[in-house]
Chain A
Amino acid sequence: MTNSEKYHNAFVTALEVTPAQAPDLVYGKSNAWDSVGHMTLIAALEDAFDIMMEMDDIIDLSSFEKGKEILRKYDVEI
């Protein structure tokens, strides 16, 4: 699986959305991505890329696009 697929997958499984919905998601704007979903998503991303995110990054990860930018800090290129 490519990084891009792993990343996409993490959103789909953690937030229980369709693959088509994932790229438009923004934290707090849908029931799928609430605080419970957020922590599931963080755990899924950490598992998928074998990283430990800093708190500042966890709270900054507020959209599908933003997440890609944050993961770059952990040497993960999406």
Chain B
Amino acid sequence: MMWKFEGFRDNTAVIDEHGQQLSYAELRHEGRMLCQQADGRCLVFCLCQNVLGSFLGYTAFLNGGVVPAMLPADMDPALFSALYEAYKPKYVWAPKAFDLEDGCLRYERFGYRLFQTPFGDATRLAPDLALLLTTSGSTGSPKFVRQSYQNIRANTDSIVTYLSLTQSERPITTLPMHYTYGLSILNSHLDVGATILLTNQGIAQKAFWTFFQKLGATSFGGVPYTYEMLDRMRFFRMDLPTLTTMTQAGGKLLPELHRKYVEWCQKTGRQFIVMYGQCEATARMAYLPWEQSLAKIGAMGIAIPGGAFELIDEEGNLITAPHVTGELRYRGPNVTLGYASTGDDLRKGDEFGGVLHTGDMAQVDEDGYYTIVGRKKRFLKLFGNRVNLDEVERMLKSQFPTADVACAGRDDRLTLFATDEAALPQMRAWLAEKTGLHSSGFVPCLIPAIPKNDAGKTLYQELEKYND
């Protein structure tokens, strides 16, 4: 069992935007009712939204030994079918509007339905497998990350400790349930008896802020794009007296923006906490203690309680000197079991062995604080010089704040994507000057829009087609 809900019987576990709420005792009861229908350990596909039905499904299944695979409710139907055939779940838990052709309706609650599929117990599960999540970067591949009960328990304990969470917290949802960062907020707050404010509205919608103010939200999490948006929305002028904490993960925030939030938070008695994680590490690997936030702008912090980092050079040796870039390796009990790409893979045990090669390039300073400098596969060699595509992108965004820009490339050629025809030659010239590299290494490419996902992250895969 993941959580001990009986410890907070009378606390409110969740309130949704329509005013529906459940106490921990009710959540426990509702969860048991749902799990009884699922009838023992099996695989369930959960189609996620930030609504009560989805929330009930996740907590019930995880607590009841049923393995949920968390998928976005608005998922592409062809992709859903591919996953459905590849993993053969015994049940599908989905919003009412969803129709499963070969499914048999078994249960209905809070606008969600449990369908039994024709697959039965075709898919066998390893005993410690708890949860399946798609990796945030991969769209279209049927790859899942396999998380164990121990992974989730360990990461939850670490998060509760370093954020000093208590039952008086009221986090409001800003991230989807099929995303590991969104789940980590639920996991850690349910562990201390806090109240989740559940809304499907986005931060650019008025209903979100009405709900926020009415219910007195105390915290939220955001990816860099969330904070870019809030900044453009003149967030700093809003009246939010109950807000105490903002967390940030899911990529590196521009240092200028990091500073802006930290300064605002310090001035108004709040905490801004930068964090670092990956789905392969359950959720979290590091955090920047808020007291250090101003002194360490741009850094992602120190390893969470129970975890440890190492930096590895190109020859595979350990880097001990500060300010030397190497690949970041993490060790800890939250390193997940491994990947799955077919139903058979769900029988597998631990393949990562507690060690995660993050694929991120990083440095450490004299005080032991880590800074991500980019993705390993986002480094090019331009005229023999190592060029970090992420860094180039950040430089361009600082210099040309209004331009929408992305950098990609292959081997010895950097392609500069932008939507502004007039700015493109200026960017190219500026980049050549800044880097001291000849401008012929930077190939300009005008496109109508930079492809992005829902979280505002650039989809580099879609830029690939321009590379030929």
Contact = CB atoms under 8 A, between A and B. Distances in A.
Interface of A: 16, 27-28, 34-36, 38-39, 42-43, 54-56, 58-60, 62
Contact of B234 (A35, A54, A62): A54
B206 interface: yes
Contact of B202 (A16, A35, A55, A56): A35
A16 B452 CA distance: 14
The listed residue with most B CB atoms (<10 A of its CB), out of A27, A36, A58, is A36
A39 B233 CA distance: 8
A59 B208 CA distance: 9
A55 B206 CA distance: 9
B205 A39 contact: no
B449 interface: yes
Contacts of B402: 43
B383 interface: no
A38 B204 contact: yes
B209 interface: yes
Nearest to B452: A36
B454 A42 contact: no
B10 to A, nearest CB: 35
A28 B233 contact: no
By secondary structure, the B interface counts as loop
Contacts of A56: 206
Contact of B229 (A28, A35, A60): A35
Contact of A58 (B202, B233, B448, B449): B233
B456 A36 contact: yes
Contacts of B110: none
A55 B205 contact: no
A36 B202 CA distance: 11
B233 A27 contact: no
Interface residues of B, number: 21
Nearest to A42: B232
B237 interface: yes
A62 B207 CA distance: 11
Contacts of A62: 205-206
Contacts of A59: 204-206, 208-209, 233
14 contacts: A16-B448, A34-B454, A35-B202, A35-B203, A35-B456, A36-B452, A38-B204, A39-B233, A43-B402, A55-B233, A58-B204, A59-B205, A59-B206, A59-B209
A55 B203 CA distance: 11
B430 interface: no
Given A43-B232, A43-B402, A59-B204, 19 more contacts: A16-B449, A27-B205, A28-B205, A34-B454, A35-B202, A35-B203, A35-B456, A36-B454, A39-B229, A39-B232, A54-B237, A55-B233, A55-B235, A55-B237, A58-B233, A58-B234, A59-B208, A59-B233, A62-B205
Contacts of A58: 204, 233-234
A73 B397 CA distance: 32
Nearest to A34: B454
Contacts of A54: 234, 237
Interface string B199-216: 000111110110000000
A55 B209 CA distance: 11
Interface string B171-213: 0000000000000000000000000000000111110110000
B238 interface: yes
B213 to A, nearest CB: 12
Contacts of A39: 204, 229, 232-233
A40 to B, nearest CB: 8
A34 B454 CA distance: 8
A39 B456 CA distance: 11
Contacts of A42: 232-233
Contacts of B237: 54-55
Interface string B442-460: 0000001100101010000
Nearest to A38: B204
A60 B206 contact: yes
Contacts of B205: 27-28, 59, 62
B393 to A, nearest CB: 17
Contacts of A38: 204
A54 B235 CA distance: 9
A28 to B, nearest CB: 7
Nearest to A14: B449
